[in-house]
Amino acid sequence: MKIALLSDIHGNLRALETVLAHIERWKPEHVIVAGDVVNRGPCSRACLQLVLERVQHHGWQFLRGNHEDYLLHAASPEFPTHPPASEYLRLPSWSCHQDVRELVHTLADLPYQTSLTAPNGGLLTVVHGSMQGTRIGVYPETDNEKLTPLVAKGVQVFACAHTHRAFQRFFLQDKQSTLIVNIGSVGLPFDGDTRAGYAQLTWQAGRWSARLIRLEYDMAQAERDFATTGYLVGGGALAQVVLRELQLAVPMLSSFDSRFSKAILSSEISVEQAVKIWLAQYPDSFS
């Protein structure tokens, strides 16, 4: 049995196309997409269409991540429509209303987790973040005590994503060993390695083994997509931060939010001013 696991595409069409081609050559029996196909990138619609087509015609499974939730919120009446909040939230607003548009409703029925049964009856459980929700992730350095509420109980394999940092490790819980596999990210890795990533799980000789795949793709075209799709303009100044995340393969939006969100939402500083200050920390020029 072979299972491909991919997640955190974030509208990076070029990375997704490369991963899809690699999966097609590997020929797994099951493919599970663990969320965050959309948002935080310029080609949400194209990526969503590719995944939905494979769900419909090839039996892929598609789970809901926190960024699917963000676009559903952007489509709701509760979403802010006046500045400064609306300006601060232009990324999901643009992806929802200008890119994904009529496909946004397809996200509402997505499940948050799924399980498959191995030939020996053991379970593989897949979620986006952890058992504590889509926004609480599992990191390589998470200690065993903190892992206990995050990992599904009684499973042979627990696969997750969200952190954009791929790894695998064993976790002993209730005298049972669980293989934890963090899938990493197709379109926006945060481990300093810009290559696209996904995970291969194989059942062979009575046990599971995992392989974390990294693939070169057309990064230059992925960068150009930020401009040609209108994302850099339509998404507002924060789209520049997302582009820099892509180029450096490091997370920035969470730290940016911690530093500037209160000041932006209280109109003490504009999003544009905050982004200018933030990007000054990374003076290297990019094409």
Answer left, alpha or beta for residue 264, where phi above 0 means left and psi between -120 and 50 means alpha.
Answer: alpha
Q: What is the pLDDT along the chain (287 residues), one digit of tens a residue?
A: 999 999 999 999 999 999 999 999 999 999 999 999 999 999 999 999 999 999 999 999 999 999 999 999 999 999 999 999 999 999 999 999 999 999 999 999 999 999 999 999 999 999 999 999 999 999 999 999 999 999 999 999 999 999 999 999 999 988 889 999 999 999 999 999 999 999 999 999 899 999 999 999 999 999 999 999 999 999 999 999 999 999 999 999 999 999 999 999 999 999 999 999 999 998 764 43
What is the bridge-based pairing of β-strands 30-33 and 61-62? parallel
Please give the single-letter amino acid code of residue 119.
Answer: P
- pTM for the predicted model, two decimal places: 0.96
Task: Decide: 179 and 168 in contact? Cβ < 8 Å.
Answer: yes
Cα atoms in the 13 Å half-sphere on the side-chain side of 188: 27
- Report the distance separating Cα 13 and Cα 2, nearest Å: 24
Please report the pLDDT score of residue 162 as a whole number.
98
3-state DSSP assignment of residue 203: strand
pLDDT digits (tens, 9 = 90+) for 222-269: 999 999 999 999 999 999 999 999 999 999 999 999 999 999 999 999
Please report the pLDDT score of residue 284 as a whole number.
62
- Report the distance separating Cα 96 and Cα 104, nearest Å: 7
Please report the pLDDT score of residue 285 as a whole number.
46
Angle between the N-to-C axes of helices 44-58 and 13-26, in degrees from 0 to 180, rounded to the nearest 10: 20
Tell me the domains of the chain and their CATH numbers: 2-215 (3.60.21.10), 231-279 (no CATH)
Q: Which helix (H) or strand (E) holds 224?
A: helix 219-228
Please report the pLDDT score of residue 191 as a whole number.
97
Please report the pLDDT score of residue 212 as a whole number.
98
